[in-house]
Amino acid sequence: MATPDIRGNPCSSASAAARDAAELALWRMMSFYEPPLVDLDTAMLADPAWALPHIMKAGFLLSLTEPGLLHEADAHLSHARALQEHATPREKLHLEATQLVLEGRWHQACRVWDGLLVEHPRDALALQWAHLWDFYRGDATALRQRPARVLPEWAEDDPLFAHVLSLHAFGLEETNLYPQAEEAGRRALAINARAPWAVHAVAHVMEMQGRYEDGATWLRQHQPNWAEGNGFACHLWWHKSLFRLEAMDTEGTLRLIDNHISGDALQVTLNRVDAASMLWRLHLLDVDVSASCSALLANWQLPDEHAGHYAFNDVHVVLALLGAGEVPRAEAWVARCAERALLPTDAGRSNHQMAREVGLPLMRGLLALARGDADGAVDLIAPARGQAARLGGSHAQRDLIDQTLLAAAARGGRRSLGRALINERTMAKPVTPLTRHWIERLAPPTEERA
């Protein structure tokens, strides 16, 4: 007989110790305070017949987007399948969804979690994971709508409520509902100051509104709660660097990278992607970051078989390689991604179409820019820009596409396109020092203006 967890979700473990350990692991997944692996191992030991901790461990490993962890995740799912006779229907749906993630069928996995949440709206695990893979798929509408469908079913005194509200705040921001997003994020932090996803959501609002001074102050205000012992720290330092860069403080940006977005701080690919992104933005401003890019690559395991796993990560690998001046190596990485995108056996993966229609054109455009063909870069990148959301990530992360186009337009003969992008930018938010830099770079030559 199923035993309800603390939110009334049916659970097949009768062990209070196992359920408590799994609940702590769930809190860690949503709050990012230390990895959940030790807690999940504790749950497995307390109830060896319970499938859910194995599913949770597999899902966490998969959420890191590391191809090298697929085998370990698969082993845990195999173990869970061997135990599923005793699992509840809800736990079996989690197993099904996580198996789909392993197979790369992220859209289908999110649909399974959608159905699960209709029946169990207080299943925070389903909500957290669907949110992550919405983010990886670039589905901004789902980022907002799914938390909205369940929030009224949650009690505000639930220990995870602030984290659920934080998910909604981020979804509101990614669908351009900035005042509502900021209000939700601030409310979440008033309930629980240790909710870094809420800090993150409000930082995104300030980035999108050009409020770089407010953003730097906001992150500094909440820094005691996210800078130490939190897996989200590297990404929030990245946001702080974005605000410095928006102010055209390139030296301050480099200091933040050196102190917080390099070396031992880069534990997983998600962190390395942030480092590559920030270094590339500096590279576009003619800052020499070749040594920093080389140092980043020295600790980034990039075996050939990892190419083509996730287009968003592949693009950032290319950014790091080009920033380090390793053009032939970048060309080889793109070629391997293209080979995988042509495999019929890969066609069922969500990454397949993402890579073919967005990732590969972007990477080929980056290669063109590195070879000095600025106009060729524009021809490849500009058409992909309209579909860039399908690459995954946030508006702020994908802004490097626009900045790359601005740099290519300034270097080549497509200044009219660059000025059109500047017009779009200035209609969306106030002119910042970074935007002013691009306005000046794209201005007609003196004799043309005369």
Domain for residue 209, yes or no? yes
Please name which of 168, 181, 233, 234 lies closest in space to residue 207, comparing C-alpha atoms. Answer: 181
Domain for residue 44, yes or no? yes
pLDDT score of 450: 43
Question: Residue 40: which domain range?
Answer: 1-130
Pair 4, 110 in one domain: yes
- What CATH number should be reported for the domain holding residue 174? 1.25.40.10
Pair 9, 99 in one domain: yes
pLDDT score of 334: 97
- What CATH number should be reported for the domain holding residue 117? 1.25.40
Pair 354, 283 in one domain: yes
Pair 226, 308 in one domain: no
Pair 340, 238 in one domain: yes
Domain for residue 414, yes or no? no
Domain for residue 114, yes or no? yes
As a whole number of angstroms, the distance between CA 40 and CA 19 comes to 10
Pair 17, 105 in one domain: yes
Pair 298, 361 in one domain: yes
Q: What is the pLDDT of residues 158-167, one digit of tens each?
A: 999 999 999 9
Pair 113, 154 in one domain: no
Domain for residue 268, yes or no? yes
Exposure pattern of 423-432 as b/e (b: 16+ CB <10 Å)? eebeeeeeeb
Pair 216, 236 in one domain: no
Beta strand spans in 81-235 (E): none
Pair 10, 50 in one domain: yes
Beta strand spans in 265-408 (E): none
Domain for residue 397, yes or no? no
Angle between helices 250-260 and 269-284 (to 10 degrees): 160
Q: Could you say which residues of the chain have pLDDT below 50? A: 447, 449-450
Domain for residue 304, yes or no? yes
Q: What is the pLDDT of residues 284-343, one digit of tens each?
A: 999 999 999 999 999 898 999 999 999 999 999 999 999 999 999 999 999 999 999 888
Asked which of 374, 392, 410 is the last residue of a domain, the reply is 392
Pair 67, 208 in one domain: no
Domain for residue 404, yes or no? no
As a whole number of angstroms, the distance between CA 28 and CA 60 comes to 11
Total number of domains in the chain? 3
Pair 218, 283 in one domain: no
As a whole number of angstroms, the distance between CA 110 and CA 393 comes to 16
Instruction: Report the SS3 class of residue 386.
Output: coil
Exposure pattern of 217-250 as b/e (b: 16+ CB <10 Å)? ebbeebeebbbeebbbbbbbbbbbbbbbbbbbbb
Asked which of 341, 365, 392 is the last residue of a domain, the reply is 392
Asked which of 200, 231, 262 is the last residue of a domain, the reply is 231
Q: 4 has which bridge partners?
A: 10
